[in-house]
């Protein structure tokens, strides 16, 4: 038994990638024919697929929590596949940020899968297999220590998302899905060009090694590396929905099926994560001639993203489109923190990202619960018949709106307050205060307007076309995401300490190099190195 525990402990870092990959492969072999679920045999297969994916995703959450507990102690957990010497072999590296993102991804994926198993997974074939492959790509992006393998995991999650985007079919999904595929293929080509330029000038793609070598690039060649960094910002900005590269997102997310749109709430954070890794660390303040290459543009574009997105939310005519625009606004707020380039601002951005991701995912699910009870009007923001569960759905909407807008004492307020404090003294501090507060106010206005139309402006004389309320299963899945956001408020102090320590850890490039580039033996060797700044007091 002890040997099994030791093996599990040794290979823990690779399990977030292997588990969804193997689950997806098994589903393909078993034949997850969701579209044939009306037949007896197809329904039986779908039931087994649901059980398998729920168990697998729950186990993935447990693995992520185990990694989080180790990372919280300051460990940099590395895993070398094939025992190839660094920096040439494939390396996985889990630090505080990676572990936090793994837990956040699993906390979104599990309720979304539970919600999808209420019927949406039967609207098309191989939903669960594609869902697992997307989780593989998302989790892989969070743990990879290599820039090229970041591209590989991007492609894995994107290919799966192409299929999930059109799940349930429909002319609008196919139309928007085609644009989504074409734009992502163009972004992938730019990604490869940027990676090739960086490799040509530095001779490595290991991110820990790059953080050291980029600073040594001669000034005569720095322009090429800077150009590569800007190309990667275009790619990651597109994934994260940074203005003006975010115009694709509202239509895409609004057209997707509710569980897919909810999962996509974590997918945008992969772009944010990549910006942190590449432009915050590799091209950070110790990048030599290429230091802070994107600082002049990142913060202004982040502020612009929040402003344009909240205006789009105010103009939205459907609930899902409003939520999609608020997704862009929340990403803009996170990127504002990153664009300030200080550990305090990064810690605030990470804290706010946790809350906003959970709330946005919950809102996409909640939108369908409301729309299903409004008859032909569905999610359109116009008067219609009364919903059959006005109190329950109204309170859920109120909680989500208050948290996303940043009302005290919810975690959205705490994250924005931390961000405003971190911006004090910065050259753009006044602009940050103005944008964050105004965007928060108009977010509340937009959601209050939508809530009043959905729950108060009932057309007289119309019968309630929804004969019954939502399934308890669907309500429970949605409530679990909202409950998680409330828990972030309750546990705000330890989470804030964790995110602050995460931001500090990212600045210790020497510790990353020591952990990632040290020589080891063994077949798929693993090592951990203590974080050198662990003894510093985090305030």
Q: What is the pLDDT of residues 363-386, one digit of tens each?
A: 999 998 988 887 777 778 787 777
Measure the CA–CA gap between 427 and 340, rounded to whole angstroms.
9
Task: Please give the mean pLDDT across all residues of the chain.
Answer: 85
Give how far the C-alpha of residue 360 lies from the chain's centroid of Cα atoms, to the nearest Å.
11
In the chain, domain spans: 2-459+467-516
**Residue 79, C-beta contacts closer than 8 angstroms, at least 6 positions apart:** 11, 13, 14, 91, 92, 93, 94, 524, 525, 526
Closest alpha carbon to 158 in 180, 189, 125: 180
Question: Using an 8 Å Cβ cutoff, are 367 and 447 in contact?
Answer: no
Closest alpha carbon to 180 in 118, 256, 84: 256
> What is the structure's pLDDT at 521?
39
Report the pLDDT averaged over residues 329-357. Answer: 93
Tens-place pLDDT, residues 23-48: 999 998 887 655 555 555 566 778 88
Torsion angle of alpha carbons 89, 158, 327, 496, nearest 10°?
Answer: -20
Measure the CA–CA gap between 246 and 239, rounded to whole angstroms.
8
Question: Using an 8 Å Cβ cutoff, are 412 and 352 in contact?
Answer: yes
> What is the structure's pLDDT at 283?
87
pLDDT surpassing 50 at residue 260: yes
Measure the CA–CA gap between 34 and 164, rounded to whole angstroms.
13
Q: Please report how many Cα atoms fall inside a 13 Å half-sphere around the Cα of residue 22, on the Cβ side.
A: 11
pLDDT surpassing 50 at residue 54: yes
Q: Which two tokens stand for residue 209?
A: 């090694």
126: left (phi over 0), alpha (psi -120 to 50) or beta: left
> What is the structure's pLDDT at 98?
94
pLDDT surpassing 90 at residue 350: yes
Residue with tokens 């090694």: 209
Report the pLDDT averaged over residues 162-166. Answer: 89
User: Which secondary structure element, helix H or strand E, spans residue 5, and what is its range?
Assistant: helix 2-10
Question: Using an 8 Å Cβ cutoff, are 167 and 260 in contact?
Answer: yes
Q: Which range in 32-41, 70-79, 288-297, 344-353 is most confidently predicted, on average pLDDT?
A: 344-353
pLDDT surpassing 50 at residue 99: yes
pLDDT surpassing 70 at residue 534: no
- Alpha helix locations (H) across 117-146? 127-143
Q: How many CB atoms lie under 10 A from the CB of residue 429? A: 14
pLDDT surpassing 50 at residue 526: no
Tens-place pLDDT, residues 179-226: 889 999 999 999 999 999 999 888 888 888 888 888 888 877 888 888
Measure the CA–CA gap between 134 and 163, rounded to whole angstroms.
10
């Amino acid at each position: 038994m002890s040997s099994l525990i030791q093996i599990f402990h040794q290979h823990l870092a690779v399990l977030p990638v292997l588990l969804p990959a193997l689950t997806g492969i098994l589903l393909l072999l078993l034949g997850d024919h969701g579209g044939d679920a009306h037949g007896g045999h197809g329904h039986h297969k779908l039931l087994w697929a649901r059980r398998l994916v729920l168990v697998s995703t729950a186990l993935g959450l447990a693995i992520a929590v185990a990694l989080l507990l180790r990372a919280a102690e300051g460990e940099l957990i590395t895993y070398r596949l094939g025992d190839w010497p660094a920096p040439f072999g494939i390396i996985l590296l889990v630090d505080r940020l990676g572990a936090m993102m793994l837990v956040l991804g699993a906390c979104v994926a599990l309720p979304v899968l539970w919600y999808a198993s209420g019927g949406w997974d039967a609207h098309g074939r191989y939903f669960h297999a594609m869902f697992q492959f997307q989780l593989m790509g998302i989790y892989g992006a969070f743990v990879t220590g290599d820039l090229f393998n970041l591209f590989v995991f991007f492609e894995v999650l994107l290919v799966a998302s192409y299929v999930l985007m059109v799940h349930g079919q429909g002319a609008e999904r196919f139309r928007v899905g085609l644009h989504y595929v074409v734009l992502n293929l163009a972004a992938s080509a730019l990604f490869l060009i940027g990676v090739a330029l960086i490799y040509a000038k530095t001779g490595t793609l290991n991110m820990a090694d790059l953080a050291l070598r980029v600073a040594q690039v001669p000034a005569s060649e720095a322009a090429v590396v800077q150009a590569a960094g800007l190309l990667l910002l275009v790619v990651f900005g597109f994934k994260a929905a940074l203005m003006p590269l975010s115009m694709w997102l509202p239509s895409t997310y609004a057209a997707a099926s509710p569980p897919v749109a909810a999962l996509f709430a974590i997918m945008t954070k992969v772009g944010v994560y990549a910006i942190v890794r590449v432009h915050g660390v590799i091209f950070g303040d110790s990048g030599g001639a290429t230091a802070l290459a994107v600082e002049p543009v990142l913060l202004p574009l982040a502020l612009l993203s929040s402003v344009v997105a909240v205006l789009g939310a105010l103009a939205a005519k459907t609930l899902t489109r409003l939520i999609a625009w608020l997704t862009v606004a929340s990403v803009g707020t996170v990127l504002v923190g990153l664009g300030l380039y200080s550990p305090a601002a990064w810690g605030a951005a990470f804290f706010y990202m946790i809350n906003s991701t959970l709330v946005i995912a919950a809102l996409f699910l909640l939108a369908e619960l409301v729309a299903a009870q409004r008859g032909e009007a569905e999610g359109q923001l116009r008067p219609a018949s009364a919903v059959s569960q006005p109190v329950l759905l109204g309170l859920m909407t109120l909680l989500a709106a208050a948290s996303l807008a940043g009302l005290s004492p919810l975690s959205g307020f705490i994250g924005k307050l931390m961000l405003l404090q971190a911006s004090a003294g910065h050259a753009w501090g006044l602009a940050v205060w103005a944008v964050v507060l105004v965007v928060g106010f108009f977010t509340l206005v937009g959601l209050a307007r939508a809530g009043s139309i959905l729950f108060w402006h009932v057309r007289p004389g119309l019968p309630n076309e929804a004969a019954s309320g939502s399934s308890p299963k669907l309500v429970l899945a949605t409530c679990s995401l909202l409950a998680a956001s409330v828990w972030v408020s309750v546990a705000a102090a330890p989470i804030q300490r964790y995110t602050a320590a995460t931001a500090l850890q990212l600045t210790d490039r020497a510790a990353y190099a020591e952990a990632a580039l040290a020589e080891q033996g063994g077949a798929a060797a693993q090592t951990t190195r203590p974080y050198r700044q662990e003894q510093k007091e985090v305030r």
